[in-house]
Structure 1
């Protein structure tokens, strides 16, 4: 019996791009691809990619559990609600039951964020932190996040690993970073992080720096990010050993860029669109941080978490399993005008 796969978040930026690239990925054989969707309309959309829709509310844990067991789903790609841990245990336990009934290896991939491996989460950043570091689980577990709202998503990743291990499920923690580029799916086609730069700049008519140093952050084109998701799946379907559980962390990044360079490039593009008064980037003071917080719907203290910070998390694991990013970090600067144009078109006040 071959694998049945369930993907969540098919209407999202990353999930939609994965589905759009699915057929060209030429994956090893599997049985059925299912997509968990909320509405019949979304169900019709996912069919064009060869996915069978499962219409259910992720909050209805009983129904979702039964679907996983009835459909004998053995691989789940979780791409929704990355910042809480309320749904993952249900899905993982259901996979554990499928394993008992089928004797197949079962797999759960959790989508998280690079923030959880940055100084925002209390992670040391004085050296590159490889996604293959054998101590990574313990580093995250022993960290003291300086912001309370980072604690829940950090714990969600640890819980995925622990609960999966307890139920015989192979888990993978997948961290996108500053992702850019037009999404290829049927739903959301814009990223989150650089969109927030635009959202804040639009309200204040200027781009502001939120850090006093010049920290860097990992970056990745959306196509490269989707391709790493697919490469992990390719290896799972092939039965290859790729590292899971405490050795199953993956960062999708081609390298890093200094935030100040990102702000400067975005400011130029935004000035061309008359979203900001000019392309000069200034330092944010307390008053500015408060206004930026209003634009982003977060308290002023959280603005630097949303729009800056240092992350020395470094992608190695993907390369080890045969993934290679096609777009170097500097590619962001080549397409920043298109990126700004795309965001401005899609951004609704």
Structure 2
């Protein structure tokens, strides 16, 4: 099956976000981009940010919202590669992209590459902080992933990309990061969601907190290591003999760190107390009347569930995270995350899941 050849036309969504901004800065450092072999277009909502990107970076900017599906479809028709980091739960835009790529394939016979940033929120349970699950998902065999209902968070878009890959008009890859930590390198948002939210909650409540007893287990990955995986997949897809599975096995985990929510709360408490930011190092349980103010209505889902996965295929195709599997990168990032929270404002509301996620979770 023919695959795209240089020069490449690349469409990047989410370039003003935490992950997408970091991906954009990584793109700008790639030899193929520096050599003029990549034409990079970024999809951006809002002319103000688009103007900044044009002025400071010089990339081609398409100003549109994901809901502008006709614009999105037309942009996809021109793309050899799509890196979609803007929203894991916006099926209309994903559908429009795939429709554009299908039209492109029918005209050229060339499979475009579609790398989609999803998440292990799709693996979560309803533990509400009460227990640690024994269930650990792996991606060498994606049967358990495919069995997760389409109605659950991320799954509708994930399954669209899987089906398009099975149909053969794209080489699709669904990357499922866990909690993402570390500082981003984009021009705009440089912080993620969960650790900054927990730090802000600790500052507001004067004590680090966890949901319920804090027993569930999650994983983490540094944003730079996540972006590194995108490019491992891209380079493999563009090679003469791609080895990274797509189709029904298009799902990729990238966990490096494992933590218990209570353990994370303890680390946040210890490190913030050492800085004099809170009066005690000991964490405590978040009280029901504090939920809305401290973490928002998604506290059970985002901070009290189990979501356990193992990076399998990514490592086998050459992904080498700078923060090694089994390391302490997540805990070691807390001080930098704290400084970022102070820069952004300790009273900022937590970045919670958007309305599309609200619709998708349903439970």
TM-score in terms of structure 1 length: 0.85
Match of 2:207 in 1: 206
Please tell me whether the aligned partners of residues 141 and 158 of structure 1 are also in contact (alpha carbons under 8 angstroms).
no
Q: Distance in 2 between matches of 1:40 and 1:109?
A: 26
1:13 aligns with 2:9: no
Larger deviation, residues 102-111 vs 202-211: 202-211
Please tell me whether the aligned partners of residues 27 and 234 of structure 1 are also in contact (alpha carbons under 8 angstroms).
no
Post-superposition offset of 1:343: 2.0
SS at match of 1:171: strand
Q: Distance in 2 between matches of 1:283 and 1:31?
A: 50
Q: Distance in 2 between matches of 1:336 and 1:22?
A: 27
Larger deviation, residues 86-95 vs 250-259: 250-259
Match of 2:237 in 1: 236
Q: Which structure's residues are more often helix, by fraction?
A: 1
Post-superposition offset of 1:255: 3.2
1:24 aligns with 2:38: no
Post-superposition offset of 1:315: 0.8
1:308 aligns with 2:308: no
For structure 1, list consecutive stretches of 5 or more residues without a partner in the other structure.
143-149
Match of 1:107 in 2: 113
Please tell me whether the aligned partners of residues 122 and 153 of structure 2 are also in contact (alpha carbons under 8 angstroms).
no
Post-superposition offset of 1:139: 2.7
Match of 1:271 in 2: 273
With over 3 angstroms needed to count, the CA separation of the structure-2 counterparts of 1:27 and 1:139, relative to structure 1, is: farther
Post-superposition offset of 1:249: 0.9
With over 3 angstroms needed to count, the CA separation of the structure-2 counterparts of 1:295 and 1:282, relative to structure 1, is: closer
With over 3 angstroms needed to count, the CA separation of the structure-2 counterparts of 1:27 and 1:128, relative to structure 1, is: farther
Match of 1:147 in 2: none
TM-score in terms of structure 2 length: 0.82
Number of residue-to-residue matches in the alignment: 332
Post-superposition offset of 1:192: 0.7
Larger deviation, residues 268-277 vs 87-96: 268-277
With over 3 angstroms needed to count, the CA separation of the structure-2 counterparts of 1:345 and 1:247, relative to structure 1, is: same
1:94 aligns with 2:93: no
Q: Distance in 2 between matches of 1:21 and 1:156?
A: 25
Q: Distance in 2 between matches of 1:84 and 1:38?
A: 14
SS at match of 1:214: coil
Larger deviation, residues 252-261 vs 96-105: 252-261
Q: Distance in 2 between matches of 1:331 and 1:185?
A: 20
The correspondence for 1:335, drawn from 333, 336, 339, is 333
Please tell me whether the aligned partners of residues 11 and 188 of structure 1 are also in contact (alpha carbons under 8 angstroms).
yes
With over 3 angstroms needed to count, the CA separation of the structure-2 counterparts of 1:68 and 1:263, relative to structure 1, is: same
Larger deviation, residues 329-338 vs 169-178: 329-338
Q: Distance in 2 between matches of 1:84 and 1:326?
A: 31
SS at match of 1:63: helix
Please tell me whether the aligned partners of residues 10 and 80 of structure 2 are also in contact (alpha carbons under 8 angstroms).
yes
Match of 2:259 in 1: 257
Q: Distance in 1 between matches of 2:162 and 2:59?
A: 27
Please tell me whether the aligned partners of residues 43 and 52 of structure 1 are also in contact (alpha carbons under 8 angstroms).
no
Q: Distance in 2 between matches of 1:58 and 1:33?
A: 18
Match of 2:70 in 1: 62
For structure 2, list consecutive stretches of 5 or more residues without a partner in the other structure.
349-363
With over 3 angstroms needed to count, the CA separation of the structure-2 counterparts of 1:208 and 1:295, relative to structure 1, is: closer
Larger deviation, residues 22-31 vs 302-311: 22-31
